Structure 1
């Protein structure tokens, strides 16, 4: 793991993971463009689609974090969602915001949303997977304490970039969350579930499923929303399960589930129903 603080001279951003997000965005855009070019999409519209999607994702990620996790801070100062040094981005909100931004762009340009989502989906999932690797390196989105062999220990202190000095005045959230388990002089957290890596592997599995389905339907049904529902529904169910071992789970209401989990479960079940209906409708009928 390599948690860092970014020293900009005039201010410091503590436990900064924007570098990892930038890498994930670049890789995701690269693969998405390759697919648009390969499968006959409107390459000249690609940059606009990316810009709208990224702006929507950034706003959605920040807004979702503050509304659902730090609502008191948001309502005291709504402008914090535009602060470059403010902490907090929600991947769930980022996905929703990015999809909405992309939707508005393709509709304004008379493009089919489902078609372009099918083209971009693997690139988006790649960005999600790389982003979670960044979360792991930074010690963010960590899991609950565990005694299993899967447990990992996160560093207590981060390194300041570009001076490469260790900052001893601030402990990492993962170390703080397991206070009482490690000794106060320890420089590593207690073992916790690496939920970031669990999610990364889940994203890779979704990539493989999407690529397989794309190959099956692209030539005959380019405008099908099936890949949209596989991508978003698959991620919803993945995140629903991981919430049970996320250390930052909040807002538990019923059946041990948070409001976010209930929404994810309901949406995931809906997408399963849609995919089942799609395949049943595509099945050859008797006598034809």
Structure 2
């Protein structure tokens, strides 16, 4: 819809600043802010957040790129593996990023002596905040959109606000859709209403985060519970939305039934069940809000 913030002319040609990158950074920042606040509430030193986030971001981007190429552009990757490092054209799969960030984060938590289950309950749902913001970047870039919904647009809600298309009302489900303009370089279906799957996932991820936050605050029964519930609920959301996706770069279909993300959702959901079965009797270990020691304050130069 609005892929580029601005273009700066340089001696080496135009330098483009993409809206997708802005929302990606905002997503990381939002996830870090939520994680940092909750770390202090459960007694984990927030100083560990910076190295944790640095490791998670690098591993997350690497995992997102890897799953994207394995699932959607395998032939292009095999022909030129160096495109893995070219982020200018996008190409990241959320599941790959989440898996990469989680594995690297868990390794760091073991190294740093952090309670892995308690930290996972804090950090993993925060990823949903980052996803909610990041999907607005997908909306801006015109990727990850839905199939044509075979309905006529009745009213434009945005008029000419976005150069790449419009948000429109349609007479039937989904009642609100997207129309991409041709010759702008966004979207793979032009001139007809498509399901607004990016906006659905953005809203759905935020609703999941809010619901899990309520459980985390009021109904925790064991450490690892929020992690498990995230692993159970997000695959349902994602697999449902995948059924309406219509963009061309979203992974191959396996057995004629599953997209890459739907296939990954199956073991993710199973892992959530396994964690509940293994941990439901574990209880919640005692927590005290993290307090800065007086000695630490003495070391701070004013």
TM range (shorter): 0.7 to 0.9
> Cα offset for 1:21?
0.6
Q: Does 1:251 align with 2:264?
A: no
What does residue range 235-250 of structure 1 map to in structure 2 within 5 Å? 235-248=234-247, 249-250=250-251
Q: Which runs of 5+ in 2 are unaligned?
A: 152-172, 284-302
> Cα offset for 1:247?
0.8
Aligned partner of 1:177 among 189, 194, 201: 189
> Cα offset for 1:86?
4.0
In the alignment, the residues of structure 2 paired with residue 278 and residue 38 of structure 1 have an alpha-carbon distance, to the nearest angstrom, of 22
In the alignment, the residues of structure 1 paired with residue 239 and residue 179 of structure 2 have an alpha-carbon distance, to the nearest angstrom, of 24
In the alignment, the residues of structure 2 paired with residue 106 and residue 133 of structure 1 have an alpha-carbon distance, to the nearest angstrom, of 30
Q: Which residue does the alignment assign to 2:178?
A: 153
Q: Which residue does the alignment assign to 1:228?
A: 227
> Cα offset for 1:87?
2.8
Q: Which residue does the alignment assign to 2:208?
A: 206
> Cα offset for 1:269?
4.5
Deviating 4+ runs (over 6 angstroms): none
> Cα offset for 1:72?
1.0
Aligned partner of 1:73 among 72, 76, 80: 76
In the alignment, the residues of structure 1 paired with residue 141 and residue 117 of structure 2 have an alpha-carbon distance, to the nearest angstrom, of 34
In the alignment, the residues of structure 2 paired with residue 12 and residue 66 of structure 1 have an alpha-carbon distance, to the nearest angstrom, of 25
Deviates more, 1:123-132 or 1:14-23: 14-23
Q: CA RMSD in A?
A: 2.7
Aligned residues of 1:53 and 1:97 also touching (Cα < 8 A): yes
Q: Which residue does the alignment assign to 1:54?
A: 57
In the alignment, the residues of structure 2 paired with residue 266 and residue 66 of structure 1 have an alpha-carbon distance, to the nearest angstrom, of 20
Q: Which residue does the alignment assign to 2:287?
A: none
Between the two proteins, the alignment pairs up a number of residues equal to 256
Q: Which residue does the alignment assign to 1:191?
A: 193
Aligned residues of 2:95 and 2:261 also touching (Cα < 8 A): no
Q: Does 1:22 align with 2:42?
A: no
Q: Which residue does the alignment assign to 1:263?
A: 264
